[in-house]
A and B are shown apart, each in its own frame.
Chain A
Amino acid sequence: AQSVTQPDIHITVSEGASLELRCNYSYGATPYLFWYVQSPGQGLQLLLKYFSGDTLVQGIKGFEAEFKRSQSSFNLRKPSVHWSDAAEYFCAVGSSSNFGNEKLTFGTGTRLTIIP
């Protein structure tokens, strides 16, 4: 069965500093990987996804992620964070269900706090 590990429960970063959120996955086949962001009391918004091709993926809001098969990782990065980036970030891996369609398995999330 697939799984996702986000080792950092909570990260605090100064506004303007760079950011890296870690994600490790376990999946027997080619992984389909996603990063979602959730603001308090809101649903999840897709930041970016990887399923093939270039291992460096660009997303919305200035985020990027790099797929490293050898390390089973899909870390999210941003060169300079803004106060509005404070939120919960979830990494997810897509897999096939019994119906042959997609199921997403989420990590436990990383809460990002931005300090002035």
Chain B
Amino acid sequence: DAMVIQNPRYQVTQFGKPVTLSCSQTLNHNVMYWYQQKSSQAPKLLFHYYDKDFNNEADTPDNFQSRRPNTSFCFLDIRSPGLGDAAMYLCATSWGQEYSGYTFGSGTRLTVV
């Protein structure tokens, strides 16, 4: 089945130690998104790629970076994780049309110790 896969499901990292979360898709969607979701809150968009074009949200901290080496893969890099970065990170994909909706992965739960 076509899907969005996030690895790992659970990630524990040390305070200040760089960490990378990965997302892959078999849907061949144009757009890939990264959302941060803290406990009992709405998902918050960090950035997205339309093909190779990167779009950063204005309030996304510089500590968060992203790479999309090809259509299928997208990575979220946190350069120096702080305790406040502990959250669920959700990857989503879409065709990029306003009515298409997203397909989400199962998320990566990041813990910072």
By a beta-carbon cutoff of 8 Å, the part of chain A in contact with chain B is: 32, 34, 36, 41-46, 49, 51-52, 90, 94-104, 106-109, 111
Contacts and interface: CB of A to CB of B under 8 A. Distances in A.
Interface in B9-26: none
Contact of A41 (B101, B104, B109): B109
B102 A104 contact: yes
A97 B94 CA distance: 13
Which 7 A-B pairs have CB atoms at the shortest separation, nearest pair first? A101-B96, A51-B99, A43-B104, A106-B42, A44-B104, A43-B106, A94-B98
Given A49-B99, A99-B96, A104-B102, 14 more contacts: A42-B106, A43-B6, A44-B43, A44-B92, A44-B102, A45-B104, A90-B42, A90-B43, A94-B98, A94-B100, A97-B55, A100-B96, A101-B31, A102-B96
B76 interface: no
Main secondary structure of the interface of A (DSSP, over half): strand
Sorting the interface of chain B by its residue count into under 10, 10 to 19, 20 to 34 or 35 or more gives 20 to 34
A95 B98 contact: yes
A74 to B, nearest CB: 14
B97 A101 contact: yes
B90 interface: yes
5 contacts: A44-B102, A51-B99, A99-B55, A102-B96, A109-B41
